[in-house]
Structure 1
Amino acid sequence: MKSVETVFQEKYSSQPIHIVKSPLRICPLGAHVDHQHGLVTGMAIDASINMAYSSNKDGYIRVQSIDFPDEEIFHIKHVPDMIPGHWGNYLRGAVLALEEKNILHCGIDAVISGKLPIGGLSSSAAVTTAYLLALCDANNIQATKEELIEYSHWVETEFIGLNNGILDQAANILSEDGYLMSMDCSTGEYKLTPKPDNMPEFEVAVVYSGVSKALIGTDYNNRVDECKVAACILEELACGTMSPIKEIRLRDVDDELYQKYREELPGRFRRRADHFYTENQRVKDGIEAWEKGDIEAFGKLMFESGESSIHNYESGCPELTTIYNILKDCPGVYGARFSGAGYRGCCIAIINPEFKDEIRKRVDAVYPVMHPEYADVYKVNFCKTDDGARIIPNYDANTEVS
């Protein structure tokens, strides 16, 4: 496949060319809690959305995707409506998000592409950040990292209609190579904890199931609502009143009240609450394990997160569960869990790099036999951590962007 730089030069012949490198991300701990204002962790990986672009003064947005057909073209003053399932929605949303607080004068000419099968690694956040960075650069908008997270989250929630939190955007934008990013989603406060010298080297296994569909068509939004209903019930049990469901989150209910009234929560609402409160504790324990360099304890918490995601949060699909079970029993895997929302896409694992061949062989021996319909599309990839999204200005055509 041609690089974005090559296709850009063939299509536009514009100078100067800038490159956005916007990484995909993993969430080792903190699964399914960001939309409830919980505690999360994240890391960027060295697989990314790459975009070559230059600014123009005619106000038109022209973006060619290498991965999807057609070219997206519109004027910044006439942004088309959202079309369900269309790859250009995130571009349209990025323009509208910036126009909430800024005046755009310039458009961009661009070519964009991604690496790896990307379901479950938050390609949507990565691609949105790429558009935002390019549009800000073209229009001399000095946006902070926190503002970029806010803009990107607006695109997902207000324009696309997905009721998610800010984990994906935060991991994509704030991460630094070799650090664990942790964030309190209720306040936006975050910290970067360096990998200790005594922690063994590790890599990230990304096993793509072959199952790919938009989150908006899954139970994702239903799970968000179920968590909020659980919060309403707990609040009523504790206080005799309920906040509006649009406003309340499980984080608004103290852990002590959850412990006191847990047994009175019915069915699935208890399971959703169980996942939230235990996952928050796993994040706290995981940060402590990371600080000590105890990658085995960190990995054990990842496995516990995976089990809770399956049994308490009830995400997943048969294909992802197969991959998770393979990784759980595979030598060299410190910890594993579904990636992203966990309804399609990938399983991720923190692994000992010495066992990469063994891990690949185990997956290749089992997965295509159990799920032959995906035998030609599933993939096993290995990644390292990386810095967050950034612009590579004044691109030198003799330098390849990895």
Structure 2
Amino acid sequence: MIFSDDVISRTSESFFDAFQMHPTHISTAPGRINIIGEHTDYNDGLSMPCAINRWITVTFSPRSDDQIYIISKDFNQVLFLSMYAGYQPDSDWKKYMYGCIQILSDVKKLHGGFNALIEGNVPVGSGVSSSAALEVAFMNGLNAFYNLKLDPLAIIKLCQRVEHEYLKVKSGLLDQYASQFSKENNLLVLDFQKNTHTYISAEMDEYCWVLCNSNVTRSLAGSKYTERVMETQAALNQLSETFPDIKHFRDIKEIHISAVKNVTQQKRIKHYVLENKRVQDAIAALEQQDLTHFGALLTASHLSLRDLYEVSCDEIDFLMEQAISLPYCLGSRIMGGGFGGCTINLVKKNCTQEFSKFMKFAYLKRYNMVTEINEYISVDGAHVITL
């Protein structure tokens, strides 16, 4: 459990060093990996993520005025503003913080300022959703600090609004959902049409999840993400006109795909339909402990994301191809928004060191770049304690 006595003590000391007072609340939220079901959440699809053992922690204490003073320990930067005055964020982390405060204040009246300290170990820009961990930790902390009594689903929907309105990224709920609702030793199965979830055991027997970070900056992810949202929506609109029974994305079946006239839009919606099916097939494979088939589904997902959704890049494709050439890797695919970031790989536990050595050497030789290799385990979602 993240809130061991040691963690509470260390976090409290860090806060005291910054503000010369003790915190009243500690809020934490984990990063996430997404096993399968990529680029489906914003179109009411299916996904299978889990939270990982990397966290963002936000500590709070009240102020006697209406000022808000937030320190980002990792960025070594400060955000200082008045609760009721205008403010123009000049960096992404400040947009997240300011967006959370403003959107929450649209829903509930916030009384009084606060001090906050942010620190964490979720890798930034590597596809494990440090931004969602930041939002979820901060929003949960505000909810507890102001005693607003918002339910967890309401909290993550507010976080999604921050993405839409302050970062201008039309994201779905996958990242926030995984950070909020995950359960240790389980994978989430998310249905974004209903915003419901179930759990399935994360036990992989002799295998584990290993991420290879391409260290390619995902500079296109935001704009291209929005393009994909528009392209799939256009495909749905056309199909709705052609087939009166199609009203929602999940009404689209494989037999409908060829009716989409625009070639690009047809490719996008084909990925969506087949990726949802792969999630369902992955559930069955896990239930039957057929990890060979499960791994093949991961690789099929990558090929679809590369060829149909077109969100991969040369470096990521190379990492995937190298991984699946190894007999102890059952499957590999790009994970996250795309255009860089990480691959996720299903690797035999007793071969992870060999895998890491091979991948690092191959990537350095090909691109003269270092790939970071990380092995993760599933953990519980967001949590707040009051001191």
Report if TM-score (shorter chain) is over 0.5: yes
How far apart, in 2, do the equivalents of 1:18 and 1:329 lie?
48
Partner of 1:339: 335
Match of 1:223 among 203, 214, 228: 228
Aligned partners of 1:261 and 1:285: how far apart in 2?
Answer: 20
Q: Structure 1 210/387 Cα, relative in aligned 2: closer, same or farther at 3 Å?
A: same
SS in 1 for 2:258: helix
Deviations 1:327-350 (A, max 9, x none): 222343232221211122211223
Does the Cα contact within 8 Å between 2:56 and 2:122 map onto a contact in 1?
A: no
21-30 vs 115-124, greater mean Cα deviation: 115-124
Match of 2:190 among 183, 191, 194: 183
> In the alignment, which residue of structure 1 is the partner of 2:105?
99
Do the aligned partners of 2:43 and 2:249 also contact (CA within 8 Å) in 1? yes
Classify 1:213/1:74 alpha carbon distance in 2 versus 1 (closer, same or farther; 3 Å). farther
- Distance, in Å, in 2 between the alignment partners of 1:316 and 1:169 is 23
Separation in 2 of the partners of 1:168 and 1:111? 22
Kept in 1, the 8 Å contact 2:15–2:59? The answer is yes
Amino acid aligned to 1:208: N
Q: In the alignment, which residue of structure 1 is the partner of 2:377?
A: 384
Do structure 1's residue 108 and structure 2's residue 114 form an aligned pair?
yes
Give the corresponding residue for 2:52: 45
For 2:138 and 2:243, locate their aligned partners in 1 and report how far apart those are by CA, in whole Å. 45
Greater shift in the superposed pair: 203-212 or 310-319: 203-212
Structure 2 stretches lacking a partner, 5+ long: 1-9
RMSD: 2.3
Q: Is 1:108–1:134's contact at 8 Å kept on the other side of the alignment?
A: no
Structure-to-structure mapping, 1:147-296, within 5 angstroms: 147-195=154-202, 199-213=204-218, 217-239=222-244, 250-251=249-250, 253-255=251-253, 258-260=254-256, 262=258, 264-296=260-292
Matched, 1:89 2:133: no
1:227 Cα offset (Å):
0.9
Post-superposition offset of 1:40: 1.2
Shift of 1:188: 0.5
Distance, in Å, in 1 between the alignment partners of 2:230 and 2:28 is: 34
Shift of 1:30: 0.8
Gap change, CA 1:339 and 1:296, over 3 Å in 2: same
Q: Deviation at 1:217? A: 4.4
Instruction: Verify: 1:127 aligned to 2:134, yes or no.
Output: yes
**Residue of 341, 355, 360 corresponding to 1:359:** 355
Residues 213-237 of structure 1 deviation map (CA, whole Å, 9 limit, x = unaligned): 4566441111111111111222223
CA displacement 1:137-166 (0-9 Å, x = unmatched): 211111211111111111111222111111
In the superposition, the TM-score normalised over structure 1's length comes to 0.87
Rounded to whole Å, the distance in 2 between the matches of 1:124 and 1:205 is 21
Cα distance in 2 between the residues matched to 1:315 and 1:234: 24
Query: 2-side partners of 1:317 and 1:58: how far apart?
Result: 50
Partner residue, 1:399: none
Report the Cα offset of residue 169 of structure 1: 0.9
More divergent stretch after superposition (14-23 vs 169-178): 14-23
Identity over aligned residues, as a percent? 28
* Residue equivalent to 1:117: 123
SS of match in other structure, 1:112 = strand
Residue in structure 2 matched with residue 397 of structure 1 by the alignment: none
The gaps in structure 1 that reach 5 residues or longer are 243-247, 395-402
Q: 1:82 to 1:249 in 2, by over 3 A?
A: farther
| 1:313, distance to aligned residue in structure 2 (A) | 0.5
Q: 1:260 to 1:338 in 2, by over 3 A?
A: closer
Distance 1:238 1:74, change over 3 A: same
Residues 90-141 of structure 1 deviation map (CA, whole Å, 9 limit, x = unaligned): 1011111211221111333222123253321111111001111111121111
**1:315 and 2:308 correspond:** no
Indicate which of 145, 149, 157 corresponds to 1:138. Answer: 145
Range 105-114 or range 89-98, more displaced: 105-114
Q: Distance in 1 between matches of 2:207 and 2:384?
A: 27
Q: 1:20 to 1:334 in 2, by over 3 A?
A: farther
Say yes or no: does 1:13 pair with 2:13. Answer: no
> What is the DSSP-based 3-state SS (H/G/I as helix, E as strand, rest coil) of the residue aligned with 1:143?
coil
**Any conservation in 1 of the 2:51–2:380 contact (CA below 8 Å)?**
yes
Decide whether aligned partners of structure 1 residues 152 and 217 sit closer, same or farther in structure 2, where only a CA change above 3 A counts.
Answer: closer
Instruction: Give 1:60 deviation, angstroms.
Output: 2.4
Check whether the contact 2:73–2:119 (CA below 8 A) recurs between aligned residues: yes
